């Protein structure tokens, strides 16, 4: 594997996390628990899509095969997506949605901060823009998680349940394979152990305030980075890609 191929794969990982999560958040549009949250989730989905587009745009240039960002989003199959498993988890109830975002944000913010120092100038520029958004995302999801955890008996129970269910998927965020090691060596990406330390600190801080119990690090699901996904991703792609699959090249 050349460094160029590794960089392309790494960019896909960054972009796919955001695209898939943004689609999940977009599924709430018009169904939010209150108007204010409906808009908050749509805003956040748009932030994620915006960042994903910048990353895909960079990725297709690195690849140099004349593909476009739309080709990456709409014309790849399930096994070609390399998003982390957490991103494709179904929305569930609002506690599930908030916990999924919280766990992702606790990873995404320190990652974006670290990527501002990437030796790849394009990645550094994209990350610099993403940091401010990611700060707000983490604040939004943390505030809600604290309200749920420290709220009523039912909200506490649901938040803890969502946390326990999603926790198994957090290990996949920190897998460092050959591709990632090549990126670390080229000073393009940070060592994920440093991101994990920051993730742990955020989780512990918010868990304490939310009076929730941090689940034990038991068996962790993994495989997202190799394109091995849960049964949920295929359905998500079927909906997201329907139009381009049914009417190839359609524009409006």
Partner 1 sequence: MSDDNKNNWPLWEIFIQSKRGLEHKHVGSLHAADAQMAIENARDVYTRRQEGNSIWVVPAGAISSSQPDDSAMLFDPADDKTYRHPTFYQMPEGAKYI
Q: Does 40 bind partner 1 (CB under 8 A)?
A: yes
Phi-psi region of 247 (alpha: psi -120 to 50; beta: other; left: phi over 0): beta
Q: Does 30 bind partner 1 (CB under 8 A)?
A: no
> What is the SS3 assignment for 117?
coil
Among 31, 35, 66, 121, binds partner 1 (CB under 8 A): 35
Among 58, 100, 108, 140, binds partner 1 (CB under 8 A): 140
Query: What stretch of H or E contains 110?
Result: helix 94-115
> CA-CA distance, 124 to 130, in Å (whole number)?
10
Please give the size of the binding site for partner 1, defined by CB under 8 A.
Answer: 12
Cβ closest to partner 1, residue 78 vs residue 143:
143
Q: Does 176 bind partner 1 (CB under 8 A)?
A: no
Indicate the DSSP class of residue 87. Answer: H
> What is the SS3 assignment for 198?
helix
Q: Does 76 bind partner 1 (CB under 8 A)?
A: no
Smallest separation, CB 242 to partner 1 (Å): 28
CA angle 184, 114, 229 (to 5 degrees): 65
**Residue 169 backbone phi and psi in degrees, to 5:** -95, 0
Cβ closest to partner 1, residue 139 vs residue 185:
139
> CA-CA distance, 209 to 207, in Å (whole number)?
5
**Which residues, 6+ apart, have CB-to-CB distance to 106 below 8 Å?**
138, 198, 199, 202, 203, 206
Q: Does 231 bind partner 1 (CB under 8 A)?
A: no
Among 26, 27, 43, 63, binds partner 1 (CB under 8 A): 43
Q: Does 139 bind partner 1 (CB under 8 A)?
A: yes
Provide the terminal-to-terminal Cα distance of the chain, rounded to the nearest Å: 38
Stretch that binds partner 1, among 140-148, 167-175, 183-191, 208-216 (CB under 8 A): 140-148
Q: Does 135 bind partner 1 (CB under 8 A)?
A: no
Stretch that binds partner 1, among 8-16, 20-28, 33-41, 191-199 (CB under 8 A): 33-41
Cβ closest to partner 1, residue 23 vs residue 44:
44
Q: Shortest CA distance to 12 belongs to which of 71, 76, 55, 48?
A: 55
Cβ closest to partner 1, residue 51 vs residue 172:
51
Binding positions for partner 1, rule: CB under 8 A: 34-37, 39-40, 43, 136, 139-140, 143, 147
């Amino acid at each position: 594997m050349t460094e160029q191929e590794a960089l392309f794969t790494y960019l896909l990982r960054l972009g796919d996390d955001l695209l898939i999560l943004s689609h999940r958040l977009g599924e709430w549009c018009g169904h939010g628990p209150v108007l204010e949250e409906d808009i908050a989730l749509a805003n956040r989905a748009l932030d994620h899509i915006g960042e994903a587009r910048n990353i895909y745009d960079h990725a297709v240039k690195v690849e140099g095969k004349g593909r476009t960002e739309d080709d990456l989003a709409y014309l790849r199959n399930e096994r070609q997506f390399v998003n982390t498993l957490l991103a494709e988890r179904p929305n569930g109830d609002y506690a599930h949605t908030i916990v999924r975002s919280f766990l992702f944000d606790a990873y995404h913010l320190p990652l974006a901060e670290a990527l501002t120092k990437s030796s790849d100038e394009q990645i550094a520029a994209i990350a610099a823009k993403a940091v401010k958004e990611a700060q707000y995302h983490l604040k939004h999801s943390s505030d809600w998680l604290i309200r749920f955890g420290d709220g009523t008996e039912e909200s506490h129970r649901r938040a803890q349940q969502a946390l326990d269910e999603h926790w198994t998927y957090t290990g996949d965020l920190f897998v460092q394979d050959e591709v990632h090691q090549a990126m670390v060596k080229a000073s393009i990406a940070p060592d994920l152990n440093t991101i994990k330390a920051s993730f742990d600190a955020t989780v512990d801080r918010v868990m304490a305030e939310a009076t929730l119990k941090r689940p034990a690090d038991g068996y962790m699901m993994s495989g997202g980075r190799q394109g091995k996904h849960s049964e949920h991703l295929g359905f998500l792609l079927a909906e997201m890609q329907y139009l381009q699959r049914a009417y190839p090249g359609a524009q409006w």
